[in-house]
Structures are given as structure tokens and as C-alpha cells.
């Protein structure tokens, strides 16, 4: 983070990044040893075993509980919606926030099924939203800039959003405990900044990072690719070489307000060794920013699913989350909804996995012969 000037906000961000612990190799080994003694053929639970050893390394616990779960759903609008890159009008962002508050969206149903609290944040929705006890409202700016033509946000705005995300997680840890955090988002047009960020961090061209989002047609897809190409070109003209720049510059140029908040929340969760369950393309792009700021972050990341968006796999691979080391996507269900839907669907799998570690007998305990 050599590019960052040391004013107080930067200091807070740097402290956050530097507080993230690396893997606990003792816990990982203890978890592997226990898995090998449980009454099943060694390795026979496949990716579930890899998941459990990774969870142990991240949390520092052989049998983490994961009983206190939350879905952090952050909403914001995007100036780039003006380029006609989405199948839905921008009004839907605010309408869906009201739907979340009323309990009528997919994520309400799925978080309920997963036994997770919903933490709902307005990080910069353009329309007026009512005051509501269940809606945390940040007052940074309403809507990000149109990244095809201007930066998404200024550096002080990005910093404020990152630290606000971190503060929300800190509050949840302090007030309710938190053992598993799922990332979730809502923002019409936000697969466009996700694609731009993925191109920036992976060097893949827009033709590989731009997909159909919630369901755009061919002409809109071509327009969306051109918009992302224009955003990347604009960065180069501004002197921001996206491959070598300060990650904060990349976030400011190409990101979005919910993306910044989610990046900060991810960093804060990791400082507490809370596993972070990434959802789809947008939340993964937020984690690209966070991981560029803090290399230790990866230990604490888990990919819930591999979505329908073609760039999602590129972003997951860049994070080392498209592997068979227990971090790989648990689900591949062609989801393209967002809202944290895939993360909430995957949550019970993680909980079931921890029950294997907690509840099973060893060969010795059960008097079962080994192979």
C-alpha cells in the first residue's frame, strides 16, 4: 500500500488490513488429524473435508460453531445505469430495498431458511428511502459516478464507505457475535462495475468479463462491453494503470458504493477470523479490492457458488477460490440473481460440515475396524 498517504482514515484502513491473521496451521493440522480418525474412509467426504480444514485454519478452531450467522446486504445506485447496461430501470434498486424490508425478496426467504440475520445497508441509493429500524443508512453520496465517463467516487468517499462497512461488522461482532458472514448486494447495473474491476485485477478483456447480468439481450451486451472498455480506457488516460495502481484508485475509478462497503466489511470480518462467504460476481469484485489491500485475507474467504456470469470464474480463480482446497465454490446452480442468494443457499452446507466435525465418533470411540 505504498501509494497511500498516511492521513487518519488511511491509518485506520492500514491497521484493519494489517490486523488480519494468516492461517492457523496448528488448527488446520488438528482438524486434518481429527478427520482422519472419524468413522469414515479417510477423505471420503471429499470437498467437505477440504472445507473443514480450511475453516479450521481460518478460524483457528477445529470445530467452529458457525451458529451466529449474518447476511450483509448492501445497496447502492450506479451512474453507469445511464448507459443502458441493465434489463431493469434504476428505480428497482430502491424498490427492492423496500422489498427486503418487507421480507418479500429471495434473500429474505433464503436467509430465513439459513437461520441468518439480515443486515441491510443503504450505501448510496438515489431514490429517497424511508427511515426504518432495519435499514442502516450511510450518507456518503447518492449513486456513484458513471464509470464510462468519470470516476465512481472520490478517494475520501471510498475510504468512508470501506470504514463504514468495517464498522457495521464490528458492531455485529460486538452486539450479536458473528461466526459466519455472507456478502450480498443490490444495485441496478452493478455487474458493470464488477466486470470493470475484474478486468482491472485479472487483466482479462471486457469480452471475457462482461455477461448478461439479470438477463440483457445481445445489443445491450455489446453496449455493456463497450462501456467497460471505455471505463478501462478512461483509467489509462487518467494515468491509473489498473494493473499496478493502488487498489483504492481502482475502486474509486471503477467500483461502486456497495462494493466499497462490502470490501471494508470483508476486511473487518477477517480481522476477527470470521469466515466470509462470497456470493456472486459483484460481491466477488468487492473481495478483489479487499484482497489487493490485504494479502492475508484469502485465508478467510469461501466461495458459495459459481454463478452464471462468465467473469465470475475468472475473479474466483484470481482469488485462489476456484480450486479443490476447500475454498472452491460449493454450488454450481446457474444462479444469476445476486442479493446474496447463493451465499444464503450455501450457508447450511457449511453448518452441516461443522456438525460432522463436532458430532462424529472416532474409530476408537465407536469400536469400528479401520481399512
Q: Which residues are catalytic?
A: 339
84 binds a second copy (CB under 8 A): no
Pick one of 3, 174, 203, 366: the residue that binds a second copy (CB under 8 A): 366
> C-alpha angle 134/137/142, rounded to 5°?
140
Site track for a second copy across 333-362, x = CB under 8 A: xxxxx-x-x--xx--xx-xx--xx-xxxx-
CB of 161 to a second copy, least distance (A): 25
SS3 231: helix
Alpha-helical runs (H) found in the chain = 8-18, 25-37, 46-59, 91-102, 106-114, 155-176, 191-202, 206-209, 218-237, 247-254, 257-271, 281-293, 310-318, 341-359, 363-366
Name which of 108 and 225 has its Cβ closer to a second copy: 108
325 binds a second copy (CB under 8 A): no
List the interface residues with a second copy, window 11-70 (CB under 8 A): 38-48
Q: How far is CA 9 from CA 15, 57, 140, 339, in A?
A: 10, 30, 15, 29
Question: 135, 150, 8, 18: which is closest to 73 by C-alpha?
Answer: 135
Please work out the total of residues on this chain that contact a second copy, with binding judged by CB under 8 A: 64
List the interface residues with a second copy, window 192-221 (CB under 8 A): 214-215
Site track for a second copy across 215-254, x = CB under 8 A: x---------------------------------------
306's CB contacts (< 8 A; 6+ apart) are 312, 313, 316, 322, 329, 331, 332
Question: 204, 203, 193, 258: which is closest to 227 by C-alpha?
Answer: 193
Stretch that binds a second copy, among 127-135, 147-155, 173-181, 327-335 (CB under 8 A): 327-335
CB of 346 to a second copy, least distance (A): 9
Pick one of 2, 5, 102, 175: the residue that binds a second copy (CB under 8 A): 102
Distance in angstroms (rounded) separating the CA atoms of residues 339 and 218: 24
Distance in angstroms (rounded) separating the CA atoms of residues 231 and 148: 4
Residues forming the site for a second copy (CB under 8 A): 38-48, 87-89, 91-92, 95-96, 98-99, 102-106, 108-110, 112-114, 214-215, 308, 324, 330-337, 339, 341, 344-345, 348-349, 351-352, 355-356, 358-361, 365-371
Amino acid at each position: 500500500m505504498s501509494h497511500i498517504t498516511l492521513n487518519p482514515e488511511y491509518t485506520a484502513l492500514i491497521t484493519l488490513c494489517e490486523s488480519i491473521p494468516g492461517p492457523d496451521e496448528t488448527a488446520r493440522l488438528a482438524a486434518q488429524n481429527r478427520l482422519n480418525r472419524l468413522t469414515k474412509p479417510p477423505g471420503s467426504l471429499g470437498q467437505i473435508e477440504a472445507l473443514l480444514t480450511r475453516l479450521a485454519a481460518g478460524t483457528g478452531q477445529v470445530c467452529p460453531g458457525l451458529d451466529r450467522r449474518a447476511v450483509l446486504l448492501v445497496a447502492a445506485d450506479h451512474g453507469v445505469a445511464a448507459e443502458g447496461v441493465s434489463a431493469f430501470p434504476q428505480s428497482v434498486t430502491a424498490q427492492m430495498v423496500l422489498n427486503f424490508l418487507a421480507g418479500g425478496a429471495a434473500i429474505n426467504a433464503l436467509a430465513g431458511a439459513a437461520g441468518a440475520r439480515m443486515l441491510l445497508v443503504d450505501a448510496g441509493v438515489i431514490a429517497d428511502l424511508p427511515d426504518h429500524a432495519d435499514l442502516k443508512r450511510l450518507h456518503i453520496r447518492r449513486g456513484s459516478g458513471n464509470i464510462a465517463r468519470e470516476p465512481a467516487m472520490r478517494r475520501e468517499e471510498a475510504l468512508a464507505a470501506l470504514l463504514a462497512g468495517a464498522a457495521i461488522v464490528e458492531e455485529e461482532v460486538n452486539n450479536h457475535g458473528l461466526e459466519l458472514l455472507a456478502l450480498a448486494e443490490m444495485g441496478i447495473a452493478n455487474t458493470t462495475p464488477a466486470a470493470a474491476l475484474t478486468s482491472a485485477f485479472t487483466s482479462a478483456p471486457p469480452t471475457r468479463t462482461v455477461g448478461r447480468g439479470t438477463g440483457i439481450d445481445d445489443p445491450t451486451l455489446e453496449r455493456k462491453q463497450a462501456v467497460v472498455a471505455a471505463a478501462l480506457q478512461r483509467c489509462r488516460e487518467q494515468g491509473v494503470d489498473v494493473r499496478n495502481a493502488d487498489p483504492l484508485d481502482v475502486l474509486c475509478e471503477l467500483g461502486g458504493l456497495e462494493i466499497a462497503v462490502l470490501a471494508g466489511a470483508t476486511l473487518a470480518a477477517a480481522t476477527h477470523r470470521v469466515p466470509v462467504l462470497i456470493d456472486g460476481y459483484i460481491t466477488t469484485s468487492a473481495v478483489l479490492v479487499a484482497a489487493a489491500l490485504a494479502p492475508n485475507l484469502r485465508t478467510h474467504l469461501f466461495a458459495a457458488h459459481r454463478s452464471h456470469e462468465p467473469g465470475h470464474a475468472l475473479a474466483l480463480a484470481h482469488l485462489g477460490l476456484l480450486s479443490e482446497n476447500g475454498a472452491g465454490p460449493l454450488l454450481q446452480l446457474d444462479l444469476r440473481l445476486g442479493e446474496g442468494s447463493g451465499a444464503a443457499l450455501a450457508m447450511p452446507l457449511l453448518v452441516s460440515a461443522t456438525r460432522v466435525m463436532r458430532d462424529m465418533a472416532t474409530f476408537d470411540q465407536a469400536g469400528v475396524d479401520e481399512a
